[in-house]
Structure 1
Amino acid sequence: MDPGLQREIEAKVLAGERLSFADGVALYECDDLAWLGELAHAVRTRLNGDYVYFNVNRHLNLTNVCAASCAYCSFQRKPGEPDAYTMRVEQAVELARQMEPEGITELHIVNGLHPTLPWRYYPRMLRELKKALPNVALKAFTATEIHWFEKISGLPADEILDELIDAGLESLTGGGAEIFDWEIRRRIVDHDTHWEDWSRIHRLAHAKGLRTPCTMLYGHIEEPRHRVDHVLRLRELQDETGGFVVFIPLRFQHDPNGDPRNRLATQPMATGAEALKTFAVSRLLFDNVPHVKAFWVMHGLTTAQLALSYGADDLDGSVVEYKITHDADHYGTPNVLHREDLLELIRDAGFVPVERDTRYNVLRVYPGPDPHRRDVPQPMPTAV
């Protein structure tokens, strides 16, 4: 990067001025990773101090049967395949209850676009989960799923959201975003929920008082300019609604076994350095969202820890059985981290752990790192 432009962008950031599309592209072209991290860390510190947020949650994927065949997905199955599944309501409730002793505060529910399940299955599922776990927030369904519910029910998203909220829905999930630019999206997505419907549905959700995450799947066939465009679309929607609580960069996972479902299986994944750059640039561009999450399942524990010094201030949660990624990767990333594991990871990275709820209300601030810890060599985390 030209030193003059570097000084200009740094001055903008430190003055709290908004960066442009051209600034974002220039940041991705910058090879000074230490400078990017320092600048992004200054922003995350201004917003969140030395706090790192986490929650104790469980991910439930009710069905992997899906009408779509997206190019990046190893999770989806077609009806009749040997490993296709759809949970009965009772099964889902039992799985959720298994984490009750952990003190979970959130269920995160994402599914395939099942071609024959009736619309009524979904609000019934939420009602039974809420009845079984009344103190657990239900974060459920991508905008793509809500759009699918419109098709199978004949109801508009406005009515669908009202019924789901009445059944206990407290937040949508952020998925279905991938990359919004049509040049890329038409090559990787096999459903018809694109920017117009994705943004319409989140706009409706925000108007109803829901606060939602937003995401970006990066590191496949897109270029930096597509990432910048993606973030700026979300930033503009955030200007309008103020409803996004967190932005989550999600690293594309290739499939070294070459699963034919994943047509990008042999596409090289983003390196650790590219992941850190993506966190930093996202934090610098997305000036109106309070949090940036390092979803450790898709980045590995070590990269997720490092991301906390590159703009991220959230490590997600305990997770359990995150099938969507783990049906593709084979890298030894665990399915579950317990509360004590998350506390250790956050303290080891030099931050103060803060347990939160789905809306980022603080539930508990834990003691920070031991100031004498660094006097003694510490073991590296067992998963990368």
Structure 2
Amino acid sequence: MSKIDAILDRALAGERLGFEDGVALWESDEIEKLGWAANRLMLKLHPEPVTTFVIGRNINYTNICDTYCRFCAFYRAPGSKEGYVLPDEVIYRKIQETVDVGGTEILMQGGTNPDLPLEYYTRLLRGIKERFPSIHIHSFSPAEVMKIKEVSGLSLSEVIRELKEAGLDSLPGGGAEILDDEIRRKISRLKGSWRDWMDVMQEAHRQNMHTTATMVIGFGETVEHRVKHLLRVREAQDETGGFLAFIVWTFQPDNTNLKREKLPPEEYLKAVAVSRIMLDNIPNLQSSWVTMGPEIGKLSLRYGCNDFGSTMIEENVVSAAGTTHKVNTNMILRLIREAGKIPAQRNTRYEILRVFREGETVSNDFVMQN
């Protein structure tokens, strides 16, 4: 029996894998074998042949940012003529368009804008909830929350409490990149430590808010850095238990100041498989079709993913880096069926809202508008 076979047998038997196991898995070139094991582990968590997705929209409410990440093609520095903050009425219109096509989730993310006080966010959140009480506001990455904390002078606990009381429902996992300060200093020196990111997430968990966790590979990190990232997420989940899902994708280098070779699809599929095998306490793994493309997104459903993510009616950050994969709801239904699964619409809490019968489509599908 090979070393990899022995590690996978232990994982399939329910044993928790350690650091050296993770390194060995990531160094393996037996990607299909990793995928097979990851799929088996996924089926233990989700035995029904169902793949879920959420109808949602990304709203990038501001592109002004004083963090200056080398890998970001979206931001504009404070004072830039190309900087913007969307008017409230534009945000409301975008949400109305989302609701009109059956959407349930809004993911608002922007830069770390030093000119926006806490009151901007609480007023906007209250305005959204007054107009759209049923929409789930899954918004503001840890870096944005830390900037709000800095500008407000309040504690992290107070900031999250204020945002939650104003209508914030959950936090997305953006900005994790690689949870290792050696890598973070190289790619986003001003963004804060990995501990800052995790502190925001765990404080949200303590206040009964769910979050997601992410990882981006392809910054020049080692496999050891990647495994350390997974273990830190897993340990935090043991402590506070609020991560509903994990999403991994590859760095998109076009139009950025960080010149790296784009990783091949095989490396992404390996990342999905290793993540599913190592993260035994996180229930859901999302496909990242928006960076990898619909076909690789479909393939990831055989490598440990049980969820196809969001329809992402609008997306500007990854698109700024030259990646423009776009799908609509009916295309997601087709891709899930082609993978041999039954498509089901969920909400942000992973509660199933609607299971689609064979051949069933939606009549009010959206047209992508960026």
Which residue of structure 1 aligns with residue 325 of structure 2? 333
In structure 1, the residue matched to 2:261 is: 268
Question: In the alignment, is residue 344 of structure 1 matched against residue 334 of structure 2?
Answer: yes
Secondary structure of the structure 1 residue equivalent to 2:238: helix
2:319 matched to 1:320? no
Q: Percent identity?
A: 38
2:36 paired residue number: 38
Structure 1 unaligned segments of length 5 or more: list them: 371-384
State whether residues 350 and 368 of structure 1, in contact with CA within 8 Å, keep that contact through their aligned partners in structure 2: no
The offset of 1:76, in angstroms, is 0.6
Q: 1:203-254: per-residue Cα shift (whole Å, max 9, x none)?
A: 1111111111000111221121111100100000001111101000022101
| 1:154-165 mapped onto 2 (5 Å cutoff) | 154-165=153-164
Moved more, 189-198 or 55-64: 189-198
Q: CA deviation at 1:368?
A: 5.3
CA RMSD, aligned part only? 1.5
Whichever residue aligns with residue 300 of structure 2, its letter is: A
TM-score, reference length from structure 1? 0.90
* Residue of structure 2 equivalent to 1:246: 245
Q: CA deviation at 1:339?
A: 2.3
1:90 Cα offset (Å): 1.6
Match of 2:27 in 1: 29
| Distance in 2 of aligned mates of 1:356 and 1:102 | 14
Answering whether residue 209 of structure 2 is matched by residue 210 of structure 1, we say: yes
1:301: which partner in 2? 294
- Tell me if the contact between 1:283 and 1:311 (Cα under 8 Å) persists in the aligned partners: yes
Code of the aligned partner of 2:27: E
CA drift at 1:44: 0.8
Say whether the 8 Å CA contact 1:350–1:369 is kept in structure 2: no
Cα offsets for 1:45-101 (capped at 9, x unmatched): 111122211000011010000011111110110134343211121221112212221
Match of 1:59, SS state, is: strand
Q: Deviations over 1:347-382 (max 9, x none)?
A: 111111121111111112223589xxxxxxxxxxxx
Match of 1:133 in 2: 132
Q: Quick one: which amino acid aligns to residue 265 of structure 2?
A: G
Deviation at 1:129, TM superposition (A): 1.4
Q: In the TM superposition, what whole-angstrom CA distance separates every residue of 1:257-306 from its partner, at most 9, and x where no partner exists?
A: xx3xx221x31111010010000000000000001111211111111110
Residue correspondence of structure 1 range 180-199 to structure 2 within 5 A: 180-199=179-198
SS in 1 for 2:169: strand
Gap change, CA 1:348 and 1:93, over 3 Å in 2 = same
The answer to whether the 8 A contact 1:107-1:137 is kept is yes
- Please name the residue that 1:92 is paired with: 91
Of the structure 1 ranges 357-366 and 301-310, higher mean CA displacement relative to structure 2 is found in 357-366
**Cα offset for 1:20?**
0.8
Aligned to 1:19: 17
Deviation at 1:7, TM superposition (A): 2.6
Residue 271 of structure 2 aligns with an amino acid whose one-letter code is T
Structure 2 CA distance, aligned partners of 1:195 and 1:302? 32
1:379 is matched with: none
CA distance in structure 2 between the aligned counterparts of 1:326 and 1:6, rounded to whole angstroms: 37
- C-alpha displacement at 1:338, in angstroms? 2.8
Q: Hey, what's the Cα distance between the residues in 2 that align with 1:280 and 1:197?
A: 27
Residue 376 (structure 1) aligns with: none
Where in structure 2 are there 5+ consecutive unaligned residues? 361-370
Match of 2:174 in 1: 175
Does the 8 Å CA contact 2:249/2:268 hold for their aligned counterparts?
no
User: Is this contact kept in 2: 1:177–1:215, CA < 8 A?
Assistant: yes
Alpha-carbon distance in structure 2 between the residues aligned to 1:369 and 1:245: 30
SS at match of 1:113: coil
Out of 331, 351, 357, the residue aligned to residue 361 of structure 1 is 351
1:193 deviates by 2.4
Q: TM-score, normalised by structure 2?
A: 0.94
User: Does residue 311 in structure 1 map to residue 304 in structure 2?
Assistant: yes
State the distance in 2 between where 1:234 and 1:283 align: 12
Following superposition, the deviation at residue 192 of structure 1 comes to 4.1
Q: Deviation of residue 4 (structure 1)?
A: 3.1
Residues 291 and 314 in structure 1, CA contact (< 8 A), matched pair in contact too: yes
